[in-house]
Structure 1
Amino acid sequence: MNGAENPIYFAKSPDANGHRETVAEHLEKVARWAGTFGEETGQQNAARVAGQIHDFGKYSRAFQEVLVGTRHGVDHAFPGAVFLYRAGKERLRAIIEAVNGHHDGLRSLEAIKPQILENLRTDQVLRCPSGKDASLNGGEEYETAIRAFFRDFPRFSKTDLVMDKEAFSSQERRMLYTRMLFSCLVDADYCVSAAMAVEEPKAPSWDAAIQALNDYRLSLGRGSKANAGLNALRDRLFACCGEAGNGKAGLYTLTAPTGTGKTLALLNFALRQKKRRIIIVLPFLSLIEQTAREYAKILPDIFEDHSQREYDDEYREFSARWDPPFILTTSVRFFEALFRWKPGDCRKLHNIAGSVIVFDEAQSLPGSLTGATLRAVRALCERYGCSVVFSTATQPNFSALPNLEWQPVEICPWHSELYASLRRTRVKWRVQEPTPLETIAAEMAQLDRACCIVNLRKHAKRLFRHLKRLCPKDEVFFLTTDLCPEHRSAQIDCIRERLRAGLPCRVVSTQCIEAGVDLDFARMYRALAPLEAIIQAAGRCNRNGCLAEGGLVVVFVPEAAGRLYPSAAYGKGAMRVKEMLEDGEIDIHNPEHIAEYYRRLFRDARDDEKLTDAIARGSYEDVSQCYQLIDDRCVQVIVPYAGRRELFEEIQQELQRTQCVTPQLLQRAAPITVSVYDRDSCERFAEPLFLPARRGQPPRPSGYYILRPQYAHLYSEDMGLQWPEEEENGIIF
């Protein structure tokens, strides 16, 4: 700031070339890009205004003193919210909340209104909701800032401050509207502040991608080992999805059995919608790995955003913004972004608008979050120009949920015919009496190609140890989350090769094998579970329909002390199956039986009470804390998996050199990381890792541990991470 009459206000300290960006220059750039980002969300004007006002608090002596280093801890975002409140009160709620939170996170107008009124009432320095001092205090300082702002933006008018009424038809939609607006603002601010060369994305060549997809399917057909009838059904489903894709955008379901080629059929739908991007949302990392491998044979550029991805700087920026045309991500990354409150988490949201979103294996949503999740998905379709498909072999009957409007269009209305034609398995329900795991092991030992999926890791360990005593070591495999992701992938590749070669292969697993793993066994054992899990397990049995007599799925109740299920919700689903069996046999190939299961499952379903209350109060922070797709009680342990030993040693060396690890190194370590709940064992056998200190603060806990060198033997090549004398809690991550 210089000059007494008409001072120049600066937005930043001088750059490497000595250039100093003024507040006016910065606001103009951010307003332009925020408005551009808002075009797709239908918020162009509101986003432009938010960009123009967001750093209003930099028109202050306090902030200019920050730039020269004589002052610290100043909040320059809050005064922008105060300026907007003076101009339009509650009518400008969304812009006020977005501007106030663009550094610190979204807070409701109700939460900050007392400080807004206090800030206008007195010239005493106000402590803002962020915990910092307001850069402007009292009427006189605000009037000086307003004069400076209008000198820079003489055309700015209250008539610019128009809001969209329809968006506020419900509290959930109002909050999503604000998050979308917030996203436009923070992405524009980040891009301008980082001096990124933001460009309008080029329209993808969807026609070329459609041709590549058709060529790839032709090549698959020539090498297919599936029977002719199955291939004909796959062709019909593919064509059906293409026809729907040529139609209008909207909310769709695709219901089809496992093994009918849904992965490519869904891509056919998505490409033909010709939206600005395609987002494939999958519940499991194993699904992403397999889907990415297949799609990479068709599409040149696939962006993966998930916890196991190693990022360079460019890839990290893509992860923050989601502007590539084709994205594969996890349910956690996608859904939690819709309910977060921090700038970095919400930055990507505006790029979801105008997309095709495919939810594969859609049955995996937690019941207590389903209502809020589906209402957000409906809003994406109805308000933000998205086309959405929920695809699964076990389509949940979401319309049975209370207080939810859910009327999607089914892409494959003849799916009953599909199920009837694809009876590749028979089910033997052995649930009247518990079955010892020793009995299951003895039966598997007599078979060449068998798999058993159990609900708890402690059951998997017991069964695997029994089986090892009965079979040669190289014929038995263990697959649970005790193995790090890289190790699991290597085990699955080995299993796949043995099955292809016709060699004996017996697998003990938890749910991590149920979806996205294209293995094919003649016999499948499945511990009693929710019906969707049983059907998913059956999808790994006689997958290609090559067994004339069909595959056999044996559903049993393990004879074991303690609980049988990883959670109350999981146990509830299993009990609904048992309840249906009391009324007669369940036909897993009959869509009516599947629908009846979901009717029973959802009959007393309720949204999480804390989440419902947080939404009613409009508390963005509380909503974010309540909306958790995965249990956050676990910690991450980096393990010495032999296949990536050099990475483990690199982390050890960095730890010895600096006593800390960087976030980038932890990201690279994801493939050799195991999630565990036993913190006591972590403290005993592993060393906690810390992130580098900031501004003189002590190093920060990272939530990660690394197995101590003297305990490296606790990670084995056959069973992964096993604590000695572990008290197994049976929780599956």
Structure 2
Amino acid sequence: MRSIAHIRESDNQIQTVEEHLLGVKALAESYGEKLEVKHLTGLAGMLHDLGKYTRHFRDYILAAASTPSAPPKRGSVDHSTAGGRLLYELFHISRSNPCKGIVAEVVGNAIISHHSYLHDFLSIDLESAYLQRVRDKKCPELDDFESIRQAFFGNVMSEEEFHDYVEKAAAELERFLMKPTPVNSEAKLMFLTKFVFSALIDADRTNTRIFEANRPDEPAHNNRELFNACYVKLMNKIQSFKEQPETKSAIHLLRSEMSEQCEQFAVKPSGIYTLSIPTGGGKTLASFRYALKHASVYGKKRIIYVVPYTTIIEQNAEEIRKIVGDEAVVIEHHSNVIEDTLDDDENQDGLANTQQKAKLAKDNWDAPIIFTTMVQFLNVFYAYGSRNSRRLHNLCESVIIFDEVQKVPISCVSLFNQALNFLKAYGQSSIVLCTATQPALDFVKHKLDINLSAEMIGRLDDVIDAFKRVEVIDKATEESFTNAKLVDFIETAVSEDGVNSVLIILNTKAVVKDLYRQLKTRGSGIPVYHLSTSMCAAHRSEILEEVKGQLSVGNKVICISTQLIEAGVDISFDCVIRSLAGLDSIAQAAGRCNRHGKKGIQRVYVIDHAEESLSRLKEIKVGKEMARKILKDLKRDSKYHGGNILSRRAMERYFKEFYTEFETDLNYSVLPLRKSMMELLTSSREYNDKAYKSKTGQRLPLFIANSYRTAAEHFHVIDDRTTSVVVPYGKGEDIIAELNGDGTIDDLTRLLRSAQHYTISLYDHELRELDRSGGLDRCLDGKVLVLKERAYSGEFGLDIENDSSMGMLIM
């Protein structure tokens, strides 16, 4: 009887189980070579769909193909347990070879989980979902487990070859664990399991997509050649800059010198380094120059930029795209337009329905140059869902540049450090922490393994002094401001000689919106613009372009924004007013003032805003009080902290005190469980064994005893979970219309990438309110949420009251 793994929708052709298993094995092996664990990942590939060698699955898929409008009962066939069961019975039960027992757990968990997410080896209730699956004797699909074994050893790999293959996998595991790194054995096994899971997910979905598309996959880029060509283009651009008259200024010459230092640094071995170019110092092109050179010298597969806000993605990606000259080479990944759910989609496997097309859509970060956010980076390692995990293996053998790295959320500092340490020690990646305000990530308990002599720029204090373009005026320790008072202050500031433009950055969307309305009501005749994360990326980009247009011709202009504008946005105002916040935020806001030093020394005012509600914004609240202390120190003695609130000495003290204040929060506390994420993922086996023995009276029958799924289900980079929603702004309307169609997997891949520019992130309470008021709709069988037109305003973005006009009301 011919086996069946998939039936192609277009022509009803069959992909056999052995064809699929061997195809996935080959892909998984190629991914595993990055960590020198090709047999571990290949083992997962060749066993993952072993359960399709059953009459149950054959009957199920034939019935589904013949009656697609009425598929078999949901969850009616289990085909992912068999591979995990085989490893468990052959290599775990006897526990005679611990290394092979660990192989059975690492690979087996990836296999049984490949339609959902990794199982807990041991939950906080001291139950093992992993053991329950691989020991389950009640699964009807495994009634004839012996025939499954015979089919595998007869059609895929002989028993002798298989045992030899597992020997090689065990040797890889032993070498992996023996490598000296800053993380403990449990953390090593956690990252290894997640890597194997990532390689399996991507290999499985890639092989299935290629079969369904009925054509070979696109040939891989020769990235070394590509990066060399990009380097030539970049150097031509840099040379063209040098030929312009204004580049003879001291700042431009210093930018050029720092850029050259980055190139010289690129010949150093891969590691974790810092690039502390001051704001306005040209760090995007300088870091790209380093990345291209380093990638070419060391054969890196891709260059990945990780940024805190989507605002920077559009700007920086467009800058790089213009240099590269090929849109397909550079991809942006802002958010998961399709959210992973907690549902197991095993019952959908083998079917070319909407859910499967969404799953197979190509969003695995395999492009040569990628721009993504800190949220997405952290999600790859720690969030629930196979869509996130699929990308992990592509972070290896990369140059990863963290732009504005000081924005790592406090609760995620330890997790961030552990991920980077793994990528350095095992992933052969080179990591650059790029910011003018370096956080003290090597000061905390789970510290970052930064290389010695890590800074790329020499004589940094002299560079900072040379880049001084602003004077920070402390008004925060003198008086407080309401929006009404701030309106008067803004109008006075914009009327001063030499000041045509004012940027105001406040800490909450509510006060930003109210200030905007008050300034509009005043009707001074000066254009007033408003920016916030309630607007989609395309909307914000259009407003920023309008503002830049006003600035370029010297028109009077006022812009009011949340902090999204202060991290890396290439824009320059004559005057900046910043509501008191952390020292890093003040420094970044100052970087939007007199950015190119064309007007001598300009003013940045720091104010204390009385109407901001920071009760739910603890990090901003604490940072604000610490910055206030430093301002008071400088008022008492102008020589304190290097005599400058923006000095390296002041910044170092600020971050050390900031992290000390949040010491108990750095490990991501899971309050409902009274545990930290670090405990769930990396607590010692001995600790868990003691607890298990106390409860059951028996030794723990596991080599790994951590709670991967529980941790993932409780992980959210920001405190309140958000969901991506596509908005009907500009091309967003066309994207929504197409998402309601019946396109191919390739069409869906293209749409999901385009849709990222037209999404906003909504909190659960906002979704409920929109649902109640009829402002939400759903596409793609409910997998994608979209806003109805009346729920999005051309002036403010999201309109929760659901009665907006789409007219642009910017002036």
TM-score range, shorter chain: 0.7 to 0.9
Q: Give the superposition deviation at 1:380.
A: 0.4
Question: Structure 1 166/414 Cα, relative in aligned 2: closer, same or farther at 3 Å?
Answer: farther
Q: Is the 8 A contact 1:445 1:470 kept in 2?
A: no
Q: Which of 251, 262, 269 is 1:230 aligned to? A: 251
Q: Which of 180, 204, 210 is 2:224 aligned to? A: 204
The reply on whether 1:358 has 2:358 as its aligned counterpart is no
Question: Structure 1 716/282 Cα, relative in aligned 2: closer, same or farther at 3 Å?
Answer: closer
Give the whole-Å Cα distance in 1 for the aligned partners of 2:22 and 2:737: 47
Question: Structure 1 180/499 Cα, relative in aligned 2: closer, same or farther at 3 Å?
Answer: same
Give the whole-Å Cα distance in 1 for the aligned partners of 2:653 and 2:787: 45
Give the whole-Å Cα distance in 2 for the aligned partners of 1:504 and 1:226: 26
Q: Give the superposition deviation at 1:720.
A: 4.0
**What residue number does 2:341 align with?**
none
Letter in 1 for 2:107: I
Q: Which of 340, 344, 359 is 2:387 aligned to? A: 344
The reply on whether 1:427 has 2:472 as its aligned counterpart is yes
**What residue number does 2:660 align with?**
603
The reply on whether 1:10 has 2:30 as its aligned counterpart is no
Q: Which of 41, 51, 70 is 1:47 aligned to? A: 41
**What residue number does 2:151 align with?**
148
Q: Give the superposition deviation at 1:290.
A: 1.0
Q: Report the secondary structure of 1:451's partner residue.
A: strand
Task: Tell me which of the two structures has the higher relative contact order, counting C-alpha pairs closer than 8 angstroms and 6 or more residues apart.
Answer: 2
Give the whole-Å Cα distance in 1 for the aligned partners of 2:84 and 2:482: 65
Q: Is the 8 A contact 1:340 1:621 kept in 2?
A: no
| 538-547 or 13-22, which deviates more | 13-22
Letter in 2 for 1:330: T
**What residue number does 1:115 align with?**
132
Q: Is the 8 A contact 2:247 2:253 kept in 1?
A: no
1:276-425 → structure 2 map (5 Å cutoff): 276-301=301-326, 302-307=329-334, 319-408=362-451, 409-425=454-470
Q: Give the superposition deviation at 1:664.
A: 8.2
| 598-607 or 164-173, which deviates more | 164-173
Q: Which of 491, 501, 514 is 2:543 aligned to? A: 491
Give the whole-Å Cα distance in 1 for the aligned partners of 2:735 and 2:448: 53
| 215-224 or 425-434, which deviates more | 215-224
Question: Structure 1 271/637 Cα, relative in aligned 2: closer, same or farther at 3 Å?
Answer: closer
1:550-561 → structure 2 map (5 Å cutoff): 550-560=601-611
| 333-342 or 511-520, which deviates more | 333-342
**What residue number does 1:131 align with?**
none
Letter in 2 for 1:570: I
Q: Give the superposition deviation at 1:391.
A: 0.3
Letter in 1 for 2:196: L
Give the whole-Å Cα distance in 1 for the aligned partners of 2:268 and 2:312: 28
Give the whole-Å Cα distance in 2 for the aligned partners of 1:342 and 1:675: 18
Q: Runs of 5+ in structure 2 lacking a partner? A: 65-71, 93-100, 123-127, 178-183, 339-355, 495-499, 636-640, 671-676, 684-704, 743-747, 804-811
Q: Is the 8 A contact 2:115 2:386 kept in 1?
A: yes
The reply on whether 1:135 has 2:135 as its aligned counterpart is no
Q: Which of 764, 781, 788 is 1:706 aligned to? A: 788
The reply on whether 1:190 has 2:195 as its aligned counterpart is no
Report how many residues are paired.
685
Q: Is the 8 A contact 1:499 1:505 kept in 2?
A: yes
Question: Structure 1 614/478 Cα, relative in aligned 2: closer, same or farther at 3 Å?
Answer: same
Give the whole-Å Cα distance in 2 for the aligned partners of 1:477 and 1:226: 31
Q: Report the secondary structure of 1:400's partner residue.
A: coil
| 263-272 or 39-48, which deviates more | 39-48
Question: Structure 1 118/74 Cα, relative in aligned 2: closer, same or farther at 3 Å?
Answer: same
Question: Structure 1 665/380 Cα, relative in aligned 2: closer, same or farther at 3 Å?
Answer: closer
**What residue number does 2:503 align with?**
451
**What residue number does 2:808 align with?**
none
Give the whole-Å Cα distance in 2 for the aligned partners of 1:17 and 1:627: 42
Give the whole-Å Cα distance in 2 for the aligned partners of 1:367 and 1:224: 44
Question: Structure 1 348/465 Cα, relative in aligned 2: closer, same or farther at 3 Å?
Answer: closer
**What residue number does 1:219 align with?**
240
* RMSD across aligned positions (CA): 3.2
Q: Can you list the C-alpha shifts for 1:63-110, whole angstroms capped at 9, x where unaligned?
A: 233233397611111111010011221322211111111223211344
Q: Give the superposition deviation at 1:670.
A: 5.0
The reply on whether 1:66 has 2:60 as its aligned counterpart is yes
1:496-575 → structure 2 map (5 Å cutoff): 496-548=548-600, 550-560=601-611, 563-564=613-614, 567-575=617-625
Give the whole-Å Cα distance in 2 for the aligned partners of 1:629 and 1:264: 29
Give the whole-Å Cα distance in 2 for the aligned partners of 1:252 and 1:397: 13
1:570-589 → structure 2 map (5 Å cutoff): 570-585=620-635, 587-589=644-646
Q: Give the superposition deviation at 1:654.
A: 8.8
Q: Report the secondary structure of 2:323's partner residue.
A: coil
Question: Structure 1 98/527 Cα, relative in aligned 2: closer, same or farther at 3 Å?
Answer: same
Q: Report the secondary structure of 2:324's partner residue.
A: coil
Give the whole-Å Cα distance in 1 for the aligned partners of 2:291 and 2:774: 45
Q: Give the superposition deviation at 1:166.
A: 5.2
Q: Report the secondary structure of 1:520's partner residue.
A: coil
Give the whole-Å Cα distance in 2 for the aligned partners of 1:277 and 1:178: 23
Give the whole-Å Cα distance in 2 for the aligned partners of 1:241 and 1:454: 34
Give the whole-Å Cα distance in 1 for the aligned partners of 2:190 and 2:232: 41
Give the whole-Å Cα distance in 2 for the aligned partners of 1:599 and 1:25: 56
Letter in 2 for 1:594: M
| 630-639 or 20-29, which deviates more | 630-639
Q: Is the 8 A contact 2:308 2:373 kept in 1?
A: yes
Give the whole-Å Cα distance in 1 for the aligned partners of 2:134 and 2:502: 69
Letter in 2 for 1:203: N
**TM-score for the superposition, normalised by structure 1:** 0.86
Letter in 2 for 1:283: P
Q: Give the superposition deviation at 1:62.
A: 2.3
Q: Give the superposition deviation at 1:232.
A: 1.4
Q: Is the 8 A contact 1:253 1:391 kept in 2?
A: yes
Letter in 1 for 2:542: A
Q: Is the 8 A contact 1:226 1:544 kept in 2?
A: no
Q: Is the 8 A contact 1:688 1:701 kept in 2?
A: no
Q: Can you list the C-alpha shifts for 1:308-358, whole angstroms capped at 9, x where unaligned?
A: 7999x9999785222221112222222211224533322222222111111
